Amino acid sequence: MNKLTNKILVLAIIMLVSALTVNAATLTCQQISDTSLSISQFSTSEIEIRCSASGGTVSNVQITTNSDPSTGLTISSSQTISSSISSGSSSTAKWSVTGDSPNTYSVSYTISSDGTESWSGASTTSVEVPTPAQLTVEYVLPPSLFTPSVETLDFRMTNIGGTTASNVKMRLNSSNGYIGSQVDYPTTIAAGASASYSWTNTTGFNESGTYTTTVYLGSTKNDAVTATVNAAGGNITQNVGWNMMSLSSNPSNKTVPSVLSNIWDNLTIVWGYNASESNENLRWLKYDPDALDPSSNTLQEFDIYSSYWVRTDAEVDISISGDAHSTTNVSLYTGWNMAGYPANTNADVNDSITSIVNDIVIIWSYDSSESDEVDKWKKFDPTALDPSSNTLENFTTGSGYWFRMSAPQNFSINW
């Protein structure tokens, strides 16, 4: 009986030791990749984890990732961990992580096996998907007046995105037909940083018009900025027939022969309209260069506040030199007025008339460059039921305008 008891006791001890040996098998996992990843949007990186067995073979090994939140990252397995790892051996699992939406994400892990599991080191991965690079552009103190001595147009780009901007391209366009070559910016712009650049034109930025700088990341347009330029001396094109014009600068000699000297051979007649004259029969003023009696010309000088009808027999440019206009108030009287636009920049009609709009009946302009006579007339009706029917959108330096007013007002032109 004692021998049998001893055998049973020995067998029990052997089974217990065997059981303890099995239960002692341990699975230990750790991250091999960085625990903080920064992935550009739509780019991919890898998370790598290695698990090692000790104290015996570990079976039914499984490891899965858990992203929080579950959207914004795409996680796919490129290599799964072995389901059974023998003692003293290891196996690696890798996941491809793609950043779909800008945000910061936390990826955790779940481990299971028939052994005892433990984790070595950080048990989560922080994944940042920063906002893509995005450029804005602005001119640096753009002057309202350019002269031939001004040869550079400076601008500044700022990267408001969360990643470095590279492959930056820039382009300069002008309404006068001057187009700067496309430029590849010679360096990168870090997130939150700014960079400056200059356009150079050896003849100077002395032509009236608009200069637009556009910036791109690769072929994708990011932003654009426009500077409106009006030279103190500028040309006003007169097409064959009637033209409605005003002075684009303030010449020292405003007599009709002086202002129109360079188109004199092609000038047919000039008409002006003085809305302040109480006698309607005396409001129209004319200058006929072929008049037999020059004293019959009632229009002697141009007024920067007024506009004029000029008739020519050829397409010519009136070359006007003088000082730039300063801030101006144009007096408008009840009824019809032929008003000039003495400003150094063009302006949106809606934005320019807010203080007097309640007393405006209608505004007309005349664009002699249009081929169709009907299209030459442009109007702005502040009471139009359909605002898109208004064909006059901008006040333009050198052009003239018919204002019909229900009450007198001062048209304040500022820039």
Over residues 208-217, the mean pLDDT reads 81
Task: Give pLDDT, residue 57.
Answer: 95
Check if CATH label 3.30.300.30 holds for domain 26-129: no
The Cα–Cα gap between 53 and 413 comes to: 83
The Cα–Cα gap between 286 and 291 comes to: 10
Domain 135-229, CATH class in plain words:
mainly beta
Over residues 98-107, the mean pLDDT reads 90
Task: Give pLDDT, residue 22.
Answer: 46
Of 144-158, 193-207, 312-326, the range with the highest mean pLDDT is: 312-326
Task: Give pLDDT, residue 78.
Answer: 78
> Over 50: is that where the pLDDT of 147 sits?
no
> Over 80: is that where the pLDDT of 8 sits?
no
Over residues 295-319, the mean pLDDT reads 94
Task: Give pLDDT, residue 153.
Answer: 80
Over residues 3-15, the mean pLDDT reads 55
Over residues 196-202, the mean pLDDT reads 81
Bigger pLDDT: 41 or 405? 405
Over residues 27-42, the mean pLDDT reads 92
Task: Give pLDDT, residue 334.
Answer: 97
Task: Give pLDDT, residue 226.
Answer: 79
Lowest mean pLDDT of 111-120, 162-171, 176-185, 341-350, name the range.
176-185
> Over 80: is that where the pLDDT of 210 sits?
no
Q: Do domains 26-129 and 135-229 have the same CATH topology?
A: yes
Please give the mean pLDDT across all residues of the chain: 86
Bigger pLDDT: 368 or 11? 368
Domain residue ranges in the chain = 26-129, 135-229, 234-413
Q: What end-to-end distance do the CA atoms of the chain give, in Å?
A: 117
Task: Give pLDDT, residue 199.
Answer: 84
Q: Flag whether the pTM goes above 0.75.
A: no
Beta strands in 133-291 (DSSP E): 135-139, 152-159, 168-174, 183-184, 194-200, 209-217, 220-229, 234-238, 241-245, 267-273, 284-287
Q: Which of 220, 244, 210, 241 is nearest to 168 (CA)?
A: 220
- Per-residue pLDDT tens for 353-386? 999 999 999 999 999 999 998 999 999 999 999 9
- Per-residue pLDDT tens for 243-300? 999 998 888 899 999 999 989 999 999 999 999 999 999 999 999 999 989 889 999 9
Task: Give pLDDT, residue 139.
Answer: 86
Task: Give pLDDT, residue 211.
Answer: 78
Task: Give pLDDT, residue 42.
Answer: 85
Cα 141 to Cα 48, 145, 147, 213: the distances in Å are 52, 12, 15, 14
Task: Give pLDDT, residue 358.
Answer: 96
Task: Give pLDDT, residue 264.
Answer: 93
Task: Give pLDDT, residue 178.
Answer: 56
> Residue 148: which pLDDT band, with cuts at 50, 70 and 90?
very low
> Over 90: is that where the pLDDT of 158 sits?
yes
The Cα–Cα gap between 87 and 329 comes to: 93
Task: Give pLDDT, residue 145.
Answer: 46
What number of other Cβ atoms are within 10 A of residue 307's Cβ?
27
In sequence order, which ranges of 316-380 are alpha helices (DSSP H)?
A: 349-352, 373-376
Task: Give pLDDT, residue 80.
Answer: 84
> Over 70: is that where the pLDDT of 207 sits?
no
| Amino acid in position 176 | N
> Over 70: is that where the pLDDT of 6 sits?
no
Task: Give pLDDT, residue 203.
Answer: 55
